Amino acid sequence: MATAVTALAAPVVAKYGGSSLATPAHILGIADHIAAQRADGTSLVVVVSAMGDTTDDLISLAASVSKRPDARELDLLLATGELVSAALLVMALHDRGVDAISLSGPQAGILTDGSHGRARITGVEPTRVRQVNRKV
């Protein structure tokens, strides 16, 4: 789970799944939507998944180099898909004059139980998101 943070008061949390981020054109459309919300004064925390079939592609890639990929390493590999989406979305937001940064799940304060391959969120420490939200 990766996060893009934009400015102002108590934020609205918006989640965009893989199919809504499937292509660069989709990402640009989401950036337009977010920019319009920000122009109306809405503070946002945006959570994104990996683009389109990226997760499936990364799982196939892992299977091509390992018969039994280590769960921790597979989690790390899959997280790269979310990071790509977050970074691309923030780039598109910057082009629209919207201040934003991307954060990984751990950077955003998402805590999990450490069960690689099936981790559950155990808590959220929003300090970093709040700090960033005040700056952007």
Q: Which residue has the higher pLDDT, 107 or 6?
A: 107
pTM above 0.75, yes or no: yes
Report whether 48 contacts 82 (CB < 8 A). Answer: yes
Please write the tens of the pLDDT for every residue from 18-65.
999 999 999 999 999 999 999 998 889 999 999 999 999 999 999 999
**Cα(136)–Cα(125) distance, integer angstroms:** 19
Checking if the pLDDT of 9 tops 50, the result is yes
Report pLDDT for 29.
98
CB 50 within 8 Å of CB 17: no
What is the rounded average pLDDT of the residues 83-98? Answer: 98
| pLDDT top residue among 108 and 1 | 108
Q: Which domains does the chain have, with CATH numbers?
A: 2-135 (3.40.1160.10)
pLDDT at 134: 75
Per cent of the chain over pLDDT 90 is: 79
Q: Which residues pair with 46 in a beta bridge?
A: 4, 14
State how far the Cα of 42 lies from the Cα of 40, in Å rounded to an integer: 6
Q: How confident is the model at residue 133 (pLDDT cuts 50, 70, 90)?
A: confident
